[in-house]
Amino acid sequence: MSQTTYIDAAAERVEAERAAADAKRAGMKSFLDRVADLSADSSPAGTSGVAGTGGLARRTETSGAGGCESVRTVFAETVHPKALAENVDASAEPDVSESASLTATIRRELTESIAVAVAPASNVPFSPGLKRGILTEARRRRAELDVLCRALDRESESLQAAADTVASVSSWIAAADETPLTELGFDALRRRHESLATHRDRCDDAVADRQSALASTTAVGADAGLRHRDLVGSIYEGLAVDFPVVVTLARLDDACRECQRSVRAHLVRRA
């Protein structure tokens, strides 16, 4: 098994998550642009609905559901397929008649009140207040996706830094092993032992860098951020190990320690 196998698997997972987040972010941007272009019902009867992000949808007999149906259609064509792709391979074109799935996605990506307001049976008019509420929540969600993409980029950089250290140390060990210890003199053995100590220090430094990355938080502006430890706990679920970087570095340090032990044994015999 390659020394970087676990890190490689983690990097593949991060790449897939980044692509999914990018797709959803693009979908949310399209949703925002298209909803912004929709005309709201500004008649007196069209003032009910969701006035803000926390408002509750109210039923009305006013015919204004066309705008809400347009919102559902736009969501189905932009955000919904990207959200489904995170869990299943959605090969079919999105269909707004699949109301249960679509409503669940709207609830998850926006809010419960918006999902209720634009549901087919709600008859809530697409009022200016409802439009503002939808746009506000969509912007909030897009900001969250911006944070997620930044956090994934930071994770990718952290993985690459660790992989570079592992590759460098592993290459040195492989090259050193080409010369048997029995062919080395006392001074050469001592230098090899010192080099191994240096490489173990590099592993320790890499672990410290990794722990620092895990303890970090990614945020945009003053908004609450995304804890990096929570992110990796989520995206690495199901991998062979929970902490691929730390496990890989620990195993590499063990390999260096075993090499040092062998070198010391030869040094003792030569002394």
pLDDT in tens, 172-183: 999 999 999 999
Which pLDDT score, from 0 to 100, does residue 90 have?
Answer: 42
Between 255 and 120, residue with greater pLDDT? 255
Residue with tokens 């009305």: 60
Angle at 182 between CA 179 and CA 184, to 5 degrees: 65
Q: Give kind and range of the element (H or E) at residue 265.
A: helix 244-270
Structure token digits, residue 237: 């679920």
Q: What's the pLDDT band for 44 if we cut at 50, 70, 90?
A: low
Which pLDDT score, from 0 to 100, does residue 52 have?
Answer: 46
pLDDT in tens, 121-177: 888 899 999 999 999 999 999 999 999 999 999 999 999 999 999 999 999 999 999
pLDDT in tens, 229-261: 999 999 999 999 999 999 999 999 999 999 999
For CA atoms 15, 16, 22, 25, give the dihedral sign. Answer: negative
- pTM (predicted TM-score): 0.82
Q: What's the pLDDT band for 87 if we cut at 50, 70, 90?
A: low
Query: Distance (Å, rounded) from C-alpha 76 to C-alpha 80?
Result: 5
The average confidence (pLDDT) of the chain is 87
Query: Distance (Å, rounded) from C-alpha 186 to C-alpha 241?
Result: 40
